[in-house]
Homo-oligomer: A and B are copies of this chain.
Amino acid sequence: MVTRLSNFFLRTLREDPAGAEVASHKLLIRAGYIRPQAAGIFAWLPLGLRVKAKIETVVREEMAAAGAQEVHFPALMPREAYEATGRWEEYGDLLFRLQDRKGGDYLLAPTHEEAFTLLVKDLYSSYKDLPLTLYQIQDKYRDEARPRAGLLRGREFTMKDAYSFDASDEGLDASYQAQRDAYERIFQRLGLEYVIVQADAGAMGGSRSEEFLHPTPVGEDTFVRSEGGYAANVEAYTTTPPEAVGWDDVAAAAIYESPDTPTIETLVAHSNAVLDGEYTAADTLKNVVLALTHIDGTRELVIVGLPGDRDVDMKRAEVAFAPAEIEPATDADFEKHPLLVRGYIGPWSETGPVLGEESATGIRYLVDPRVADGTRWITGANIDQKHVHTVVAGRDFVADGTVEIANVREGDPAPDGSGPVWLAKGMEIGHVFQLGRKYAEALGLKVLNENGKLVTVTMGSYGIGVTRILAIIAELNNDDKGLIWPASVAPFDVHVVAAGRDQIAFDVAESIAVQLEAARLDVLYDDRVKVSPGVKFGDAELVGVPKIVIVGRGAAEGQVELWDRATGERDSVSVEDAIARLTAP
């Protein structure tokens, strides 16, 4: 059935909506695809639903090809299972929580790991039932603190979430690979360039984790790549530590006066003036005090030592210390710990000139992996106005562990030896993730193995944000006139515009629309009578159907124009040629 604009539910808007900053947000509203209902919550209009349905069809087809089976969970879920896995607390304010009339606790699910785990536990009991991959396409909720950029970071969003269940690690690897391959096919079909980057397992707990990023300078995620093919989230980049070396011939550490040198810059200048040698920031060990707030509400201070030429990357630090929340230590923290001498903090252990004891303060001391055994440093003496030089890691202090919170720089080595890395920007379009046994353990999902023994199931989790992808496609495909949809997801295949004033233009346009529909194309026909051709063209450009047919003054002679929305090219052709070209496979 031809869709006629004269009664299609669409009203294009000339003005950008208030508060919309990114192109997809502005254009999807202006072109009548979505309407805001509340911050980060949108209604879908007929045009938007059509694009969404096309993306979902691609996802469903590739899920089926990968052997995944579709199920559907409610958005409203009881608290219990999320309590058992700790996520009821961990999610913090991101979770929409509510109570029913009897006071029972519920949530609007941000993802459904728990529910899928319990469903499989409920019905399956043997390794013979596995492998199994289930998925759903479902509306999810997260109470983002600052919903923004329209569908790119909303509080409600449609997601395809899949979960795999295997009795063995090898099984998980195979299930993971099948989903990973399906994701590659999905993004290829949607025309979305992607880079697969290693991701940090983060708060979800688990092992292998990769994100599909669309590389674009306007992306909100930073990742690192090398010529040799390494690609990782900045949060997942791992530093290659130098080999440990001995310190037999190294002189003892020595404290020296260093008045007014609370910064690395002043310290280096002063040290070069008073010590033998030529030092740079990289020779100094900077000690940063961070405050962690754990899920149970307790506050813990941690000191992190890292080379003085590096800064703390707070996003890497957030991931490194998750699920605890972090912030720089506050004045109040320092007041509570008078042993912390601001500007002169040194390694925090019980040996040598460095002062205090962990047990005395409860403060852990962690270091960057570059602070390997045998490396020598200039660093704070934990005494006001004093530093210490020739401090040797492993000899003069032993850290409580290493941590990756130093910033990554262009030229740093890829951990796989594939050369120096550079930094790039991207947008996340998918995530595949080996959960391992965390959820199965928490919820008791076990099956009998070949030997009749109960083994805990190992799981994977695989997500694609359907509405997010729609927004990204819109973000990547537009110009100052409006949207330019790729054919695979366009709301219609062809937009026929009756642009003449005579009845003949409408008759010819109608006939073309009907013929194209008969050839199984989706046709939007602008049959509006009292609307000028200029307004119709403007609407066509804004709505962004890739192929436009203009039926205007040439209609009486059987001539029409084929207009390619992407290139802007217009060809004058006969009606027959237009239909032949549009219906060509």
When the two chains form their complex, are residues B43 and A74 in contact, meaning their CB atoms are under 8 A apart?
yes
Residues of B contacting A37 with CB < 8 Å?
A: 73-74, 77-78, 115
Residues of B contacting A73 with CB < 8 Å?
A: 37, 43-44
| Identical chains in the assembly | 2
Contact residues, A5-51 vs B (CB, 8 A):
7-9, 11, 32, 35, 37-38, 41-46, 49
Contact residues, A139-163 vs B (CB, 8 A):
139, 141, 143, 145, 155-156
Q: Which of B43, B67, B71 is close to A71, meaning CB atoms less than 8 Å apart? A: B43
* Among A64, A70, A77, A132, residue most surrounded by chain B Cβ atoms (within 10 Å): A70
Q: Which of B9, B70, B104, B145 is close to A49, meaning CB atoms less than 8 Å apart? A: B70
- A130 closest partner in B (C-beta): B7
- A315–chain B nearest beta-carbon distance, Å: 22
Q: A9-B132, A101-B93 are in contact. Are A70 and B43 (CB under 8 A)?
A: no
- A139–chain B nearest beta-carbon distance, Å: 7
Q: Which of B41, B134, B155 is close to A9, meaning CB atoms less than 8 Å apart? A: B134
Complex CA–CA separation, A105 to B125 (angstroms):
43
What per-residue 1/0 map shows which CB atoms of A119-130 lie under 8 Å from chain B?
Answer: 100111000000
Contact residues, A67-104 vs B (CB, 8 A):
67, 69-78, 93, 96-98, 100-101, 104
Residues of B contacting A156 with CB < 8 Å?
A: 74, 76
When the two chains form their complex, are residues A76 and B43 in contact, meaning their CB atoms are under 8 A apart?
no
When the two chains form their complex, are residues B69 and A8 in contact, meaning their CB atoms are under 8 A apart?
yes
Residues of B contacting A69 with CB < 8 Å?
A: 8-9, 46
Residues of B contacting A41 with CB < 8 Å?
A: 74, 76-78
When the two chains form their complex, are residues A100 and B143 in contact, meaning their CB atoms are under 8 A apart?
yes
When the two chains form their complex, are residues B108 and A76 in contact, meaning their CB atoms are under 8 A apart?
yes
- A85–chain B nearest beta-carbon distance, Å: 16
Q: A37-B78, A38-B78, A74-B37 are in contact. Are A98 and B97 (CB under 8 A)?
A: yes
A106 beta carbon closer than 8 Å to chain B: yes
Q: A38-B78, A77-B37 are in contact. Are A44 and B72 (CB under 8 A)?
A: yes
A254 beta carbon closer than 8 Å to chain B: no
A273 beta carbon closer than 8 Å to chain B: no
Q: A9-B134, A71-B44 are in contact. Are A38 and B101 (CB under 8 A)?
A: no
Q: A132-B9, A143-B100 are in contact. Are A106 and B71 (CB under 8 A)?
A: no
Q: A49-B72, A69-B9 are in contact. Are A100 and B106 (CB under 8 A)?
A: no
When the two chains form their complex, are residues A101 and B67 in contact, meaning their CB atoms are under 8 A apart?
no
A1 beta carbon closer than 8 Å to chain B: yes
When the two chains form their complex, are residues A45 and B74 in contact, meaning their CB atoms are under 8 A apart?
no
When the two chains form their complex, are residues A42 and B101 in contact, meaning their CB atoms are under 8 A apart?
no
- A13 closest partner in B (C-beta): B123
Complex CA–CA separation, A104 to B37 (angstroms):
13
- A134 closest partner in B (C-beta): B9
- A128 closest partner in B (C-beta): B530
Q: Which of B11, B44, B45, B76 is close to A96, meaning CB atoms less than 8 Å apart? A: B76
Complex CA–CA separation, A77 to B100 (angstroms):
17
Q: Which of B9, B78, B139 is close to A74, meaning CB atoms less than 8 Å apart? A: B139
When the two chains form their complex, are residues A119 and B7 in contact, meaning their CB atoms are under 8 A apart?
no
Complex CA–CA separation, A108 to B93 (angstroms):
19
When the two chains form their complex, are residues B49 and A101 in contact, meaning their CB atoms are under 8 A apart?
no
Complex CA–CA separation, A123 to B71 (angstroms):
36
Complex CA–CA separation, A61 to B454 (angstroms):
49
When the two chains form their complex, are residues B101 and A145 in contact, meaning their CB atoms are under 8 A apart?
yes
Q: A98-B96, A100-B96, A145-B101 are in contact. Are A46 and B71 (CB under 8 A)?
A: yes
Complex CA–CA separation, A155 to B76 (angstroms):
10
Residues of B contacting A77 with CB < 8 Å?
A: 37-38, 41
- A396–chain B nearest beta-carbon distance, Å: 47
* Among A72, A73, A93, A123, residue most surrounded by chain B Cβ atoms (within 10 Å): A72
Q: A96-B100, A97-B98 are in contact. Are A11 and B74 (CB under 8 A)?
A: no
- A52 closest partner in B (C-beta): B72
Q: A38-B78, A123-B11 are in contact. Are A43 and B64 (CB under 8 A)?
A: no
When the two chains form their complex, are residues B100 and A35 in contact, meaning their CB atoms are under 8 A apart?
no
- A52–chain B nearest beta-carbon distance, Å: 8
Complex CA–CA separation, A155 to B97 (angstroms):
17
When the two chains form their complex, are residues A1 and B64 in contact, meaning their CB atoms are under 8 A apart?
yes
- A122 closest partner in B (C-beta): B35
When the two chains form their complex, are residues B101 and A98 in contact, meaning their CB atoms are under 8 A apart?
no
Residues of B contacting A38 with CB < 8 Å?
A: 76-78, 104, 106
Complex CA–CA separation, A101 to B100 (angstroms):
18
Complex CA–CA separation, A76 to B106 (angstroms):
14
Residues of B contacting A42 with CB < 8 Å?
A: 74
Complex CA–CA separation, A49 to B136 (angstroms):
10
Residues of B contacting A108 with CB < 8 Å?
A: 76, 98
Complex CA–CA separation, A169 to B41 (angstroms):
34
4 more A-B residue pairs beyond the given contacts A41-B78, A43-B72, A49-B72, with a C-beta to C-beta distance below 8 A? A32-B123, A41-B77, A43-B71, A76-B96
Q: List 9 A-B contacts (CB under 8 A).
A: A38-B78, A38-B106, A41-B74, A41-B76, A43-B119, A74-B156, A75-B139, A97-B98, A139-B139
Please provide the 8 A-B residue pairs with the shortest distance between their CB atoms, ordered closest to farther: A98-B98, A11-B123, A44-B72, A93-B101, A38-B78, A43-B73, A9-B69, A74-B156
